[in-house]
Amino acid sequence: MPENNEQPISKEQFPNVVKVRNDDRPLYFGELENKKFKFQEGSEVSWADPEEVSQKELREHIEPWLTSLFQSEHLSLLAGSGLTHAVHHLATGKGAAGMGALTLVTQQDNINAAAGASASQAGRKKGNVEDQLRVANELLRGLEILQNNQADTLREELEVGMKTFAKSILKSETGIATALDKPRERAFNTLVTFLMSFASRIGTRDRLNIFTTNYDRLIEAGAELAGVHLLDRFLGSLMPIFRSSRLDLDMHYNPPGIRGEPRYLEGVARFTKLHGSVDWIQTGKDIRRIGLPFGADAVEPYLQAPGLGGATAHKLMIYPNAAKDRETADYPYVELFRDLASAVCRPNSTLVTYGYSFGDEHINRVIRDMLTIPSTHLVVISFDDPLDRIMKTYEEIGRPSQISLLIGPALADLTTLTENYLPKAAIDKTTFRMSELLKQRLGTQQGASKPKQQAAEDGICRRSAHRYD
């Protein structure tokens, strides 16, 4: 936010915000016609000419800083809905579709009023379908306790609402899965590059932790293409079951000729879906993950599997909301949020958020607690900040030296971000080293090595895309 003696910031003119390294405060800038950038008048930019900054100068300022942070002892990624929208836009040319408000007969006005109050507390202008579902489920519990006749009607309406909500989540997956070949390939290649920038960690560092507030399985699909194995709380093969006891399970191997010194297996990350998932179902006292294909048209056919006890869409674990954190005290969300706190609230920890708008107060509380540890760092990457929640949170926390900001299309567009600002993944570094070695041995010219490197990278991308097809 601008100081009292500064000019008010125009988001239309200066939609991008950068604050990394030794920047004293957030720097606002916009794009010029010649694909260069201009900072807001009065900005103190020590590393470039504020009147005309190239993308190369931005990259030289940002990428080494992120590379250093990504090799922190503990690294976590928190992905919000912005990631799904970004990948969906790459694949289809448009953002992922959301779901409109629920249409209820039972207590519609009271539910909407309570949902609106929840949204206001979270800094949003109006309630959404998640607010409505949470409030409606709370009301249903009350009506069941009172043995009110309206309980049956509301339960049936919620059943329909949950089916519709699940279908809207799957619609985003379907849009990506059924997109034209080339844009779909480009979207998944970008997603794989994004994930590998985080997952490529040296063996002496802790595993990457991936957290998401999304209900879809986009990260799971991207990890599968990238060859990254995700460790979560589910155990089992046919119908994995959620386990409360979080054993510190991992994957190791024994190098040939070395005994008693197991090493980390590469390509492994810990994964937590904080708000549940479209393929999680409550069966009795257990929570199981069903075999729902990525991009399925509907969830109902997969609820008929033996062992699910006639489960309905109302038993899907996809409706907790962030405005109030009552649900985080309930199973299994207490376990999931405990994983978040234990992963980030420790020394030498870096948390990177992408596409997260800071609308979830219980997550924000964990982040604030994390930043009370001096050696921790928060990196916020977001395509935009329409409600100013990110900048308001930045100001409220009051620890600017521990927070880096990359906001706006010039920085956080997923393609731009992966190509220019995120650290190169280990596979890219290996390809580069191979190219350099060939150049030294065979006397190849500098200009000739670049096509070889690019061809190798393209080959890797094509192989990844073919695995999906």
CA angle 75, 79, 83 (to 5 degrees): 135
* pLDDT tens, residue by residue, 85-136: 999 999 999 988 776 677 777 788 888 888 888 777 766 666 777 778 888 8
* pLDDT tens, residue by residue, 247-300: 567 777 677 766 667 777 778 899 999 999 999 998 878 889 999 999 999 898
* pLDDT tens, residue by residue, 133-150: 888 888 888 888 989 888
Nearest-CA neighbor of 205 among 373, 8, 72? Answer: 72
Determine the average pLDDT of the residues in 404-420: 96
Nearest-CA neighbor of 356 among 138, 6, 86, 99? Answer: 86
Residue 188 CA: distances (Å) to CA of 84, 150, 336: 11, 47, 27
**200: number of Cβ within 10 Å:** 22
The model's confidence at residue 464, banded by pLDDT at 50, 70 and 90, is: very low
pTM of the model: 0.83
With a cut of 50, say whether residue 454 has pLDDT above it.
Answer: no
Q: For the range 332-337, what are the long-range contacts, defined as Cβ-Cβ under 8 Å and sequence gap of 24 or more? A: 332/233, 332/242, 332/244, 332/287, 333/274, 333/275, 333/276, 335/233, 335/244, 335/246, 336/233, 336/272, 336/273, 336/274, 337/274, 337/362, 337/366
Q: So what's the pLDDT on residue 258?
A: 62
Task: Look at the block and give the residue holding tokens 């009172």.
Answer: 146
The alpha carbon of 153 is separated from its chain's Cα centroid by a whole number of angstroms, namely: 36
Measured distance CA(6)–CA(115) in Å, rounded: 38
Q: So what's the pLDDT on residue 12?
A: 79
* pLDDT tens, residue by residue, 342-377: 999 999 999 999 999 998 888 999 999 999 999 999
Q: Which residues contact 319 (CB under 8 A, 6 or more apart)?
A: 130, 133, 134, 137, 162, 165, 276
Peptide bond into 332 cis (omega under 30): yes
Instruction: Give the chain's mean pLDDT.
Output: 83
What is the bridge-based pairing of β-strands 241-242 and 234-235? antiparallel
With a cut of 50, say whether residue 225 has pLDDT above it.
Answer: yes
> E strands, 194-348, where?
208-212, 229-231, 234-235, 241-242, 252-253, 263-264, 268-273, 280-283, 286-289
| 40-44, 68-72, 198-202, 413-417: segment of lowest average pLDDT | 198-202
Number of Cα atoms under 13 Å in the Cβ half of residue 296: 17
Q: So what's the pLDDT on residue 265?
A: 73
Q: So what's the pLDDT on residue 457?
A: 44
With a cut of 70, say whether residue 331 has pLDDT above it.
Answer: yes
